[in-house]
Copies of this chain bind each other. A is one copy, B any other.
C-alpha cells in the first residue's frame, strides 16, 4: 500500500504502517537490550528496566546528542516532533544507528485541538493509538501520585480541624496547622478541564472535608512530571517526591509530602513510570518516550533517564525540547543539561514557511479554520519580514555555544523561491540550513538534514550555561528576558517579588535551577507579539517552588496551568471500529 500524506490523515498512515510493525523485541534487540531489560507491554510497546540497564551501560561510550527545537510556532505547531522522527529516519538512511527520544502526549491536546504528538505524514512513531492514549500509564501514575498528596493534605486538614491534639496523638499524628490560604498544590487531571481551574472544595458537613478555595492543574504541569523528567534513579525520585512543598503552616513552615507521610505511597505509584517506554518509527528505528510536553508551563522535556540510556545505545540520540528555542531549548540548555551533565553536539531549529509568514504579519492562524491563501501561495515579502523570528532563534542557540542547523520543514505548497530565501537568511546568520521532506517522503526526504546534522556534530563544541547557579534569581530572569526573549527589562508583581525574596533567602532553594513559565506563541509574554518584538517589559506575576524537582518557577504574564477545551474539540472525531478495536480519527 502506497502511503501518501497528501491523501491520507496521519492516523490512516499510522494504521497502514502498523500492518508491518516490527515486534518490540526486535526493536529492543537493535538497542542491544538483554534478558530482563526489555519489558513488553503488548506486541509493539515496551518499557525498559532502567535500573538494570543503567547498571550495564553506565560506563559505555556515548553517541552524538542532537536537540530539536523550533522558531515561534503557530497554534498548529510547526512539526518539531515530525522533524525529530524525520531526522531519525534520515540518519537511518545514512546507515547510522539513530534513536529518537520524545515526550509522551498529554490527553489535554489529544482530545482538544492539537491532536496526536507522534509526528506526521511519513515521519511518525507507531503504534499510534497506544502512544496517543496513555501508553503504559505513566501520566496516570503521575495524576494518581499527585492527587494522593492532595487527598493526604485535605484529609489531614479536616481531621486536624475536627479532632483535638489528644486524639491525633493517639495515632501518632502531630498537628501541621496548614494555612488554608497558603496551600501550594492543586489537584491534577490530564485534560483541558477549564471548569476545574478555580473551585471551592470541602462543602457540606465537617465530615465532607475542609472548605477552601482550590483548583486543578493539567497533569503535565505537575511537579511530579518535572521530577520524572529530571530524576536520575529510583532513589533520587523517592527523595525528590518527599521534598515537594504542598503548603505552608500558619507559622510559615513548609509542609511537605514527607510531613504528610504520603511520599512513600506516592513513590509506590511511580515505580514503573521511572522506566522509559519504547516504540518505533514507521521505518523501524527505536524511539524512547518518557515524561511530558508543555514547555510553556512545565519543563517540557523528555526525561534525563531516557537520554542517559539512549545516548549509550545508539550513535545518534535525537531528543526534542518543547516549543521554540526561547522556551524549550532554554530549559534544555540551562536546566535539563545541568541535571544530565550531557552536552548537545548539534541543535536543529525547525522552521516552516507558514510560521515565518505569520511572523511577517500574515493573517492569524487558528486550529480548525482554513488557512489564508497568503500561506498556500508564494509570498516572499511576508516571509522575509517574518525571518526576524528565525534570526532571533538562531541567535538564542548560538549563545549556548552550539552551532544551529536550520531545518526548513517543507510543505508541498512551498515554492523554491521561498526555500531559497530562508536558506539565504540562515547563511547570513552563519547557520547551516537544510530543506527536509520527511513528512512527504520519510527518511529519504530527510537525507540533506541528516547530513547537515552529522557535519554539525563534528564541529568543535563551546557549550556553556547562560548563568551560574550562584546568580540571584532576579538576575537570572533578567538575563533570560533580555538575552533570550529580547525584552528591555523585567517587572515583578508585589506577590512575585515577595516570594522570590523568600526563596533567595533560603540557602537550599538559592542554589536550585529555574524553570520559566511563559507563552510559546511569542518570544514575549504576549501571544500577539509576533516576529522578534522589542521594546517590551516581561511581567513576572507569580513564582512557584518545585523543591522536589529542584527549581523555582517564575510565571510570566497571564498564563494558565490548566488550558481550556475549545468549542470544536478533537474528541468529536475520535471513535473505535468495534469489529477490529482500532481507534479512528486521532488527528
B-binding residues in A (CB < 8 A): 39-43, 47, 51, 107, 111, 129, 133-134, 136-137, 140-141, 143-144, 147-148, 150-152, 154-155, 157-159, 163, 167-168, 171-173, 187, 189-204, 207-210, 214, 233-235, 238, 261-262, 264-265, 267-269, 271, 368, 564-576, 578-579, 581, 583-586
Closest Cβ of chain B to A481, distance in Å, is 27
Which residues of the partner chain B approach A152 to less than 8 Å between Cβ atoms?
565, 569, 571
Q: When A264-B574, A269-B133 are in contact, do A140 and B147 touch as well, CB less than 8 Å?
A: no
Closest Cβ of chain B to A555, distance in Å, is 17
Checking B193, B265, B271, B571 against A262 with a beta-carbon cut-off of 8 angstroms, the contacting residue is B571
Q: When A199-B201, A209-B196 are in contact, do A151 and B568 touch as well, CB less than 8 Å?
A: no
Asked if residues A565 and B198 are in contact (CB atoms below 8 Å), the reply is no
Which residues of the partner chain B approach A202 to less than 8 Å between Cβ atoms?
195, 198-199
Checking B140, B574, B575 against A134 with a beta-carbon cut-off of 8 angstroms, the contacting residue is B140
Identify the interface centre among A107, A194, A564: most chain B CB within 10 Å of its CB.
A194
Closest Cβ of chain B to A87, distance in Å, is 30
Q: When A151-B192, A159-B567, A209-B197 are in contact, do A140 and B144 touch as well, CB less than 8 Å?
A: yes
SS class of chain A's interface: helix, strand, loop or mixed?
Answer: mixed
Which residues of the partner chain B approach A581 to less than 8 Å between Cβ atoms?
51, 234, 271
Q: When A148-B111, A238-B578, A581-B234 are in contact, do A199 and B195 touch as well, CB less than 8 Å?
A: no
Identify the interface centre among A51, A163, A202, A578: most chain B CB within 10 Å of its CB.
A578
Asked if residues B133 and A268 are in contact (CB atoms below 8 Å), the reply is yes
Nearest to A267 among chain B residues (CB) is B576
Checking B158, B234, B564, B585 against A207 with a beta-carbon cut-off of 8 angstroms, the contacting residue is B564
Identify the interface centre among A157, A195, A233, A584: most chain B CB within 10 Å of its CB.
A195
Q: In whole angstroms, what is the CA distance A586 to B238 when docked?
A: 17
Asked if residues A572 and B261 are in contact (CB atoms below 8 Å), the reply is yes
Identify the interface centre among A155, A159, A199, A265: most chain B CB within 10 Å of its CB.
A265
Q: When A40-B40, A261-B571 are in contact, do A271 and B583 touch as well, CB less than 8 Å?
A: yes
Closest Cβ of chain B to A355, distance in Å, is 25
Known: A41-B42, A171-B567. 19 other contacts (CB 8 A): A40-B40, A129-B268, A144-B191, A147-B191, A173-B567, A195-B208, A196-B201, A196-B209, A197-B208, A199-B199, A199-B200, A207-B564, A234-B578, A238-B576, A264-B573, A265-B570, A267-B576, A268-B576, A271-B576
Q: In whole angstroms, what is the CA distance A167 to B368 when docked?
A: 14
Checking B214, B262, B575 against A268 with a beta-carbon cut-off of 8 angstroms, the contacting residue is B575
Q: In whole angstroms, what is the CA distance A43 to B158 when docked?
A: 41
Q: When A134-B137, A134-B269, A144-B140 are in contact, do A201 and B195 touch as well, CB less than 8 Å?
A: yes
Q: In whole angstroms, what is the CA distance A208 to B233 when docked?
A: 39
Asked if residues A193 and B150 are in contact (CB atoms below 8 Å), the reply is yes
Closest Cβ of chain B to A475, distance in Å, is 34
Nearest to A144 among chain B residues (CB) is B107
Q: In whole angstroms, what is the CA distance A559 to B427 when docked?
A: 71
Nearest to A191 among chain B residues (CB) is B151
Closest Cβ of chain B to A480, distance in Å, is 28
Q: When A137-B137, A158-B195 are in contact, do A575 and B171 touch as well, CB less than 8 Å?
A: no
Q: In whole angstroms, what is the CA distance A190 to B579 when docked?
A: 30
Closest Cβ of chain B to A194, distance in Å, is 5
Which residues of the partner chain B approach A195 to less than 8 Å between Cβ atoms?
154-155, 157-158, 201-202, 208-210, 214
Q: When A134-B140, A140-B144, A189-B147 are in contact, do A155 and B107 touch as well, CB less than 8 Å?
A: no
Checking B141, B203, B585 against A199 with a beta-carbon cut-off of 8 angstroms, the contacting residue is B203
